[in-house]
Amino acid sequence: MSANYDKTSSFYDTLSRLVFGNTLRNAQISLLTYIPADAVVLIAGGGTGWILEEIAKVHSQGLEIFYVEISANMLALSQKRSIGNNTVHFINSPAEMVSLPKPADVIITPFLFDNFTQQAAERLFNHLNGQLKPGGVWLNTDFQIAGKWWHKPLLKSMYLFFKLFNAVQVNQLPAISGLFEKNNYQVLKSKEFFGRFILSKARKNG
């Protein structure tokens, strides 16, 4: 079952700022310069849609964005965002169920894979990988366990909290780095945030 944050949509951004400040946003914004002009962009699991406004600051026009979000409440919030003169198709669906009418130049997955078991994450990766054109760019931001003593307890508390709202069903992060390596992605940029607990990577396909 896919993660659904419907019940937390009204306070999700406020809660994230309370815990992480602006770090979650900054981690994602750090990758947006890798979106080329006039690109077809797939955003899988975009949440409340604030990222659309940040993308419009980089490209005020010319982009065709497919914005996929399983939570109807999150999608409703996203549709109120300022998108500039870009074209945005809002799709209320699990990301693994969406097939684009054209290959994407860029895929953005912001804190998406941490909602899935290893097996489900692999299926999702393979599906999304099939939506990206050769030479396309994949911008991924997610949590990681990177040696700090507080990483595991913080992650566990996050999972436990969102389970109270039936948002997630998993207990641990899937390993996805190997999936990118197996499919010959080249790392363009890698940056860690919040004591290495958050990792943002821009990768090129092929």
pLDDT tens digits for range 26-81: 999 999 999 999 999 999 998 899 999 999 999 999 999 999 999 999 999 999 99
pLDDT the model gives residue 79: 97
Nearest to 40 by CA among 103, 95, 134, 98: 103
Neighbours of 8 (CB within 10 A): 20
Phi, psi of 94 (to 5 degrees): -60, 140
pLDDT the model gives residue 41: 98
pLDDT the model gives residue 21: 84
pLDDT category at 96 given cuts 50, 70, 90 is very high
| CB 103 within 8 Å of CB 136 | yes
pLDDT the model gives residue 3: 67
pTM of the model: 0.91
Amino acid in position 151: H
Q: Which of 73-82, 109-118, 155-164, 188-197 has the lowest mean pLDDT?
A: 155-164
Q: How much of the chain exceeds pLDDT 70, in percent?
A: 94
pLDDT the model gives residue 159: 86
How far is residue 132's CA from residue 203's CA, in Å, rounded to a whole number? 12
State which of 47-51, 159-163, 166-170 shows the largest mean pLDDT: 47-51
Tens of pLDDT, residue by residue over 126-140, are 999 999 999 999 999
pLDDT the model gives residue 127: 98
pLDDT the model gives residue 162: 79
Average pLDDT on 87-105 reads 97
How far is residue 32's CA from residue 30's CA, in Å, rounded to a whole number? 6
pLDDT the model gives residue 147: 87
Phi, psi of 166 (to 5 degrees): 55, 30
pLDDT category at 9 given cuts 50, 70, 90 is low
What does the chain look like in DSSP terms, one character per residue? Answer: -----GGGTTTHHHHHHHHHTTHHHHHHHTTGGGSPTT-EEEEES-TTSHHHHHHHHH-SEEEEEEEEES-HHHHHHHTTS--TEEEEEEEES-GGG---SS-EEEEEEES-GGGS-HHHHHHHHHHHHTTEEEEEEEEEEEE---S-TTHHHHHHHHHHHHHTTT----SS----HHHHHHTTEEEEEEEEETTTTEEEEEEEE-
